[in-house]
Amino acid sequence: MELRAGTARVTITPPVGIEMVGFAGRGPAAGLHGDLTATALVLEGPRATPAGTGQTDEVIRLAIIACDLLYLRSDKVHAVRAAVARLTDVPADHVVVACSHTHYGPLTDPARSTELAQVGPYLANLVHLLAGGVALARSRVVPCRIGVGYGDVRIGINRRERTADGRIILGQNPGGPYDPRVTVLRADTVDGRPLAAVLNCACHPVSQGAHCTQLSADFPGTARTLLEEQTGAMCLFLQGAAGNINPLLMGWDWTHLAHLGLPLGAEATRVYWSIQPSVEETKGGLDIARSRLDLPPILPGSVAEGREAVAALEVERDRLGAAGEAGGLWWAERRLARARQGLDSLLGGPSVPPVPAELSALRLGHSVGLVTAPGEIFTETGRSIVARSPFPHTLYASYTDGSVWYVPTRAAYAEGGYEVTHACLVAPEAGEIVEEESVRVLAGVHSR
């Protein structure tokens, strides 16, 4: 049986006035700079078998959904999967939901909402929109051939800048780790017509800074549009391991979309046309494996350290509240709640529960692997996973199938900084656990 593929796109733009997310304490959306979309790719083919044993008659179907959203909680991901399974013959566990991580989209966590009149109905409808996109893509599958190519673009920079007094701030660190690689998976029909392009690179979509109040897909949307205009293929953008990578340009200036998105889209287009898709490549079959982890939670090093952290955060909370700094207050309150929970556990109270995380690995033909994680993975971890992958070609997609916030490297914990002190739920060993398990699940689908 041949590999078949189909694509579809749905608009997921929320109403103006909905609460925004990305940065802390965001207010309502005051305008619309461009529509948000979700693009679905459905793949159908023989299930991969161990090398040398020939093809199986079993048909497997996979769906990848790429959304212009910051993230989706795991419960909403499961709702999307269930809706897809009701509408199509794609099994729920074969659906991958990825987010671009744009910071100019709607709030997607009802627990953080102060205005459920918009957020709740939007999320409820989103489930049906995403499932409908997969159903439409499923109805369009045709025989295809695939190939992979690579390029480089330098639109981002490591953001963990060390100040003169030794602190780590969100700035620019030109000497820090950064992955400029652009990976493109190209799918054509068997007679050579453009079908789909998967664009994978790593850079935070925060080009408009913290004060922008308009909905936007940010520079990934610009890159995607250019690639589609120049190739005729429908493009899915998969965000890479961008936990510590920001764009070179930040601030509310819409020209940033061109300065960042056009070079990315141009390089992706160049790479796309350099790829020679092959029917032979598709004969390796399809497969998917998942791993559900319980990552260790971050805890104070001692009771004394925990008490010190609680006291300091109580002072910070009161100061920010008196100053009316809503964004900083939001973070202070949540950091304080976590610090109190950690201290209480050290004093004999309930243990802090582990952080559930779902990883997945997909096999797409003979030599292409896709591995996903739900966190803000540091670029060092993502690069290491790709380098250790048994597949000749590996795409890495973070911000996928849920959210566990930041997963820094072990070395980053000693340095501090926002990714560790503000938005981290997991212990220093979590990054290593994610890396080892990612390589293991990749090896599992590769060996079949």
**DSSP reduced 3-state for 133:** helix
Cα separation, 179 vs 385, whole angstroms: 13
**Pair (107, 8) in one structural domain:** yes
Give the integer Cα–Cα distance in Å for 128 and 151.
36
Give the separation between CA 203 and CA 239, rounded to whole angstroms. 7
Q: Which pLDDT score, from 0 to 100, does residue 254 have?
A: 98
Q: Considering only CA atoms, give the Rg of the chain.
A: 22
Contact indicator for 137, 42 with CB cutoff of 8 Å: yes
Give the structural domain span for 308: 298-346
Same domain, residue pair 191 and 312 = no
- What secondary structure does DSSP assign to 152-197, as a single string? E---EEE-EEEPTTS-EEES--TTS----EEEEEEEEETTS-EEEE
Residues 6+ apart with CB under 8 A from 333: 317
Q: pTM value?
A: 0.95
Q: Note whether 145 and 281 are within 8 A (CB).
A: yes
In a domain, 425, yes or no: no
Report yes or no on 103 lying in a domain. Answer: yes
| Rounded Cα distance, 236 and 220, in Å | 10
| CB contact burial 74-100 (16+ within 10 A = b; e otherwise) | bebbbbbbebbbeebebeeebbbbbbb
Q: 160-169 b/e with 16+ CB inside 10 Å = b? A: bbeeeeeebe
Q: Which amino acid is at 16?
A: V
- Do residue 119 and residue 180 come from a single domain? yes
Within a domain: residue 415?
A: no
Query: Do residue 202 and residue 330 come from a single domain?
Result: no
Contact assessment for residue 44 and residue 59, using Cβ atoms and an 8 Å cutoff: yes
Residue 404 lies in a domain: no
Does 216 fall in a domain?
Answer: yes
Q: Which residues contact 221 (CB under 8 A, 6 or more apart)?
A: 34, 37, 68, 102, 237, 257, 261
- Please indicate, yes or no, whether residues 103 and 233 belong to a single structural domain of this protein: yes
Q: Are 257 and 148 in the same domain?
A: yes
Q: Could you tell me if 35 and 128 lie in one domain?
A: yes
Residue at 219 is within a domain: yes
Q: Which residues contact 247 (CB under 8 A, 6 or more apart)?
A: 155, 156, 157, 203, 204, 205, 206, 207, 219, 256, 260
Q: Are residues 189 and 320 in the same domain?
A: no
| The residue to which tokens 């920079």 are assigned | 157
- The residue from 283, 312, 333 where one domain ends is 283
| DSSP-derived secondary structure letter, 92 | G
Same domain for 112 and 244?
A: yes
332 and 254 housed in the same domain: no
Give Cα separations from 328 to 87, 110, 169, 211, 417 (angstroms). 43, 20, 15, 14, 15
* One-character DSSP codes across 308-336: HHHHHHHHHHHHHHHHT-HHHHHHHHHHH
- Rounded to whole angstroms, the Cα distance separating 22 from 13 reads 16
pLDDT (tens digit, 0 to 9) for every residue of the chain, 448 residues total? Answer: 789 999 999 999 999 999 998 887 678 999 999 999 999 999 999 998 765 455 567 899 999 999 999 999 999 999 999 999 999 999 999 999 999 999 999 999 877 666 568 899 999 999 999 999 999 999 999 999 999 999 999 999 999 999 999 999 999 999 999 999 999 999 999 999 999 999 999 999 999 999 999 999 999 999 999 999 999 999 999 999 999 999 999 999 999 999 999 999 999 999 999 999 987 777 789 999 999 999 999 999 889 988 999 898 888 888 988 888 777 787 788 888 888 998 899 999 999 999 999 999 999 998 999 999 998 999 999 999 999 999 999 999 999 999 999 999 999 999 999 999 889 999 999 999 999 999 999 999 998 7
Number of separate domains in the chain = 2
Cβ(428)–Cβ(410) below 8 Å: yes
Query: Does residue 214 sit in the same domain as residue 322?
Result: no
Q: Is residue 398 part of a domain?
A: no
* 161 located within any domain: yes
Q: What pLDDT, on the 0 to 100 scale, is given for residue 113?
A: 62
Tell me how far apart the alpha carbons of residues 100 and 200 are, in angstroms, rounded to a whole number. Answer: 10
Give the pLDDT of residue 52.
44
Find the helix or strand (DSSP H, E) in which 119 lies.
Answer: helix 116-139
Spatial separation of the C-alpha atoms in residues 426 and 330, rounded to whole Å: 20
Both 95 and 128 in one domain: the answer is: yes
Instruction: Compute the half-sphere exposure of residue 23: CA atoms within 13 Å on the CB side of its CA.
Output: 23
